[in-house]
Amino acid sequence: MTRRRSTAPAPGAREIAPGVYCPGPWGHTRTNVYLVRSGPHWTLVDTGWAADAPRVERAAASLFGPGSRPAAVLLTHCHPDHAGSARRLARKWGRPVHLHPGELPLATGDPAAIEDAAAPLDRRLLLPVMRAAGRRRYEAMLAGAGLGGAARAFDPRAAPPGLPDWECVHTPGHTPGHTAYFRPADRVLISGDALVTVRIATVRGMLVPRPGLSGAPWYTTWDRPAARESVERLARLRPSVLAGGHGEPMTGPGTAAALEGFAARAAARG
């Protein structure tokens, strides 16, 4: 298994596969966004934390020219480390933010949907703390953290908006509508948090991240059995490039085998 560190055509972004640029990983969580060229247009996949918007803007300007706007903004899921800059960038570029229909209630701040899809950390800590502020304030905080009118549901059976040569792969578990994006022509996979290349699946791993394949952390995952099934689904794609939501992208002839081995071990653990 090898890791490709190719030279990007502009400072601060690497071309990890033809037309697929990664300006990260950024910060302690090793968060990634991807700028993907398709024909004469480009699309942004995930937007990082709220503070990452200037980095995304600089990467887009350096790659595609000042004032360039994406054909679409796509999310793998609506967690703050992936959707944090989405509202600001949507406003700046005049573009909606596209995501799976199952993710739309989270993106619009629907309290019932957020509680139904809550992961252990949310249920045990974050939501109780927010509820302590009172119902009206609680609902206002949820709505304020969402994407509001910028969110749009895409058709998961069709090509992702802005990427006609890619496919949507529904990978629920981390969240209900989590979606990966796959380019069959050369088997490039943008996996979001369904599969990452830094070991953050435990609290210790989050505190001291180390390289290695990992599923989404259990404490931020809505449905762990579904998440394991999603890893198996991605392994069956046999990707040549694995561009995860966190950690260094993986490429090379050993990538597919490494993913298959990880999926088999995860299934054996149950």
Q: What is the pLDDT of residue 99?
A: 97
pLDDT tens digits for 102-156?
Answer: 999 999 888 888 888 888 877 777 777 777 878 777 666 666 667 988 999 999 9
**Confidence at residue 160, expressed as pLDDT on a 0 to 100 scale:** 98
Lowest mean pLDDT among 12-21, 189-198, 200-209, 248-257: 200-209
Please give the CATH topology (third level) of the domain spanning 14-108+146-269: Metallo-beta-lactamase; Chain A (3.60.15)
Arithmetic mean of pLDDT, 155-182: 97
Say whether pLDDT at 1 is over 50.
no
Closest CA to 88 of 142, 148, 143: 148
pLDDT at 4: 36
Backbone angles phi, psi at 243, to 5 degrees: -105, 95
Q: Where residue 263 falls among pLDDT bands split at 50, 70, 90?
A: very high
According to the model, what pLDDT value does residue 145 have?
A: 67
Q: In Å, how far are 31, 209, 212 from 171, measured between CA atoms?
A: 19, 23, 20
Q: Are 269 and 46 in contact (CB under 8 A)?
A: no
The reported pLDDT for the residue numbered 252 is 87
- State the alpha helices, DSSP H only, in the chain: 53-64, 80-83, 86-93, 104-107, 111-116, 120-121, 127-131, 135-145, 203-207, 224-236, 255-269
Q: What is the pLDDT of residue 10?
A: 41
Does position 177 have pLDDT exceeding 90, yes or no?
A: yes
- Per-residue confidence band for 268, with pLDDT thresholds at 50, 70 and 90: confident
Q: What is the pLDDT of residue 53?
A: 96
Strand, coil or helix: what is 80?
Answer: helix
Q: Could you tell me the pLDDT band of residue 6, with boundaries at 50, 70 and 90?
A: very low
Average per-residue pLDDT in the chain? 89
Q: Using an 8 Å Cβ cutoff, are 210 and 217 in contact? A: no
pLDDT number for residue 176: 96
Domain residue limits, the chain: 14-108+146-269
Give the per-residue pLDDT at 8: 36
| pLDDT at residue 130 in the model | 74
Higher pLDDT, 152 or 1: 152
pLDDT score for 200? 74
- pLDDT tens-digit readout, 66-96: 999 999 999 999 999 999 999 999 999 999 9
pLDDT of res. 7: 33
